[in-house]
Amino acid sequence: MTELPASSEIQAAPARPWYVSALLALLAVALLLGAAWVFARVKSPYPFYGTAYNAGTAAAGFKGTDQDGRPYAFVPGDGNRVTALFFGFTHCPNICPLTLAYLDRVKAALPEGERDRFQTVLVSVDPARDTPERLKQYVEYFGKAEGIRIPEPALSEVAREYGVGYQRVEVGGADYQMNHTTATYLIDGAGKLRLLWDYTQLPQVDRVVADVRQVLETSQ
């Protein structure tokens, strides 16, 4: 960038015909959308339905008590298993039961050989009310999942590792509710966070299944 002498006359460029401008505009939009597509494919060669994490993002492990009252340790990728992890609570009226039900349908849709390598883990964000007994009842009613109770302050540490938020909300004339992040995190057999689905994406089970199968195949 250089500056003109003060006395210089600025010559305006001649206007191009409108149809040339229109053609250039179409080309620019095609280039823009094409570049976005290329960016998405470079970031994640497979077109995941969920939002992909950057490669190599490690998932955090945690310890708690399972629905049978036994000590439970989540080691990401243990046994080359792929894990769908979400945070919820058993008094949840809609999102948590639906999430469990959809993830159960995802598991059922997997080929038999792959089904055993996929597990669902629910971490309770309401350890005060979610006893192992209650968790057992809940996860078995809505499908087959591990229900994990982690007492505070360890729970908030685990939630922070996954970027999960939760807060107690008093409901007039009723027991309290918990507001919480509704994402489900998919962790591969190597212990890496691969993607997340918002709960509103889960009803498209076939697309979720495709994501899970891709992660199962690429984390042998």
Q: How far is the CB of 33 from another protein (least distance, A)?
A: 7
**142 sits near another protein (criterion: CB under 8 A):** no
Distance CA 34, CA 127 (A): 47
Judged by CB, which is closer to another protein: 37, or 141? 37
Q: How far is the CB of 158 from another protein (least distance, A)?
A: 11
Cis peptide, bond prior to residue 127, ω within 30 of zero: no
Closest CA to 105 of 91, 118, 122: 118
Interacting residue with another protein among 15, 111, 170, 171 (CB under 8 A): 15
Q: How far is the CB of 71 from another protein (least distance, A)?
A: 26
**150 sits near another protein (criterion: CB under 8 A):** no
Question: Long-range CB contacts (< 8 A, 24+ apart) of 135-140?
Answer: 135/66, 135/67, 135/90, 136/67, 136/68, 137/90, 138/90, 138/100, 139/67, 139/100, 140/67
Q: How far is the CB of 73 from another protein (least distance, A)?
A: 20
> Would you mind telling me the total number of residues written for the chain in this entry?
220
* Token reading at 186: 């998919």
Interacting residue with another protein among 75, 128, 151, 160 (CB under 8 A): 160
CB 16 within 8 A of CB 22: no
Q: How far is the CB of 219 from another protein (least distance, A)?
A: 18
What letter would DSSP give residue 45? S
Around Cβ 26, how many Cβ atoms within 10 Å? 10
**51 sits near another protein (criterion: CB under 8 A):** yes
Interacting residue with another protein among 81, 107, 117, 180 (CB under 8 A): 180
Judged by CB, which is closer to another protein: 54, or 220? 54
Q: What does the binding site for another protein look like in residue numbers (CB under 8 A)? A: 1-6, 8, 10-16, 18, 21-22, 24-26, 28-29, 32-33, 36-37, 39-40, 43-44, 47-54, 57-58, 95, 159-167, 179-182, 193, 196, 198-201
